[in-house]
Amino acid sequence: MATKNAAQQRADRKHDYDAYLAACPSRQLLERISNKWVVLVLNELGDGPARYSEIARVVAGVSQKMLTQTLRNLERDGLVHRDVEATVPVTVTYSLTELGSSLLKVMGQLKLWAEDYMPEVFAARERYDAL
């Protein structure tokens, strides 16, 4: 049996996951990463490692519970690294992993698109609501 190179293995795996299928696990991942808090946290960590309080300050409106849950989920999915330093009090710093950085490229564009096209979206909403 012939050995496959990395590109062939990735191509094979791509066929294993189809988000259009109800049972595909990639749907769970899409649900997770499409969360607004995930987009904002990833973008904040794109500027470099940050402590919890720094993230909470920048991501206005996120509750402590939701931020904690978001960071834990991102860590579980391998997108964020949690570094704990044995200081008094304990210092915890979050940073993007290589996988997280690859997702940030996409998410950063999504955030910029939303910021750039809000006037058009507001205009479309007004037209729709006027009907």
Percent of all residues in the chain with a pLDDT value above 70, rounded to a whole number:
93
Q: What's residue 1's pLDDT?
A: 57
For residue 83, give every residue at least 6 positions away whose Cβ sits within 8 Å of its Cβ, in sequence order, or none.
49, 92, 93, 94, 95
pLDDT, one tens digit per residue, over 101-113 is: 999 988 888 889 9
Q: Give the CATH number for residue 125.
A: 1.10.10.10
Q: Is residue 74 part of a domain?
A: yes
**Pairing mode of beta strands 50-51, 80-85:** unpaired
Q: Is residue 93 part of a domain?
A: yes
Both tokens of 83, joined, read 């570094």
Question: What total number of domains does the chain contain?
Answer: 1
Please return the burial class of 124, using the count of CB atoms within 10 Å of its CB with bins 0-12, 13-18 and 19+.
exposed
**Predicted structure pTM score:** 0.78
Domain that holds residue 64: 28-130
Cα(37)–Cα(60) distance, integer angstroms? 10
Q: Is residue 12 part of a domain?
A: no
pLDDT, one tens digit per residue, over 6-48 is: 777 766 666 678 888 888 888 888 988 999 999 999 999 999 9
Peptide bond into 89 cis (omega under 30): yes
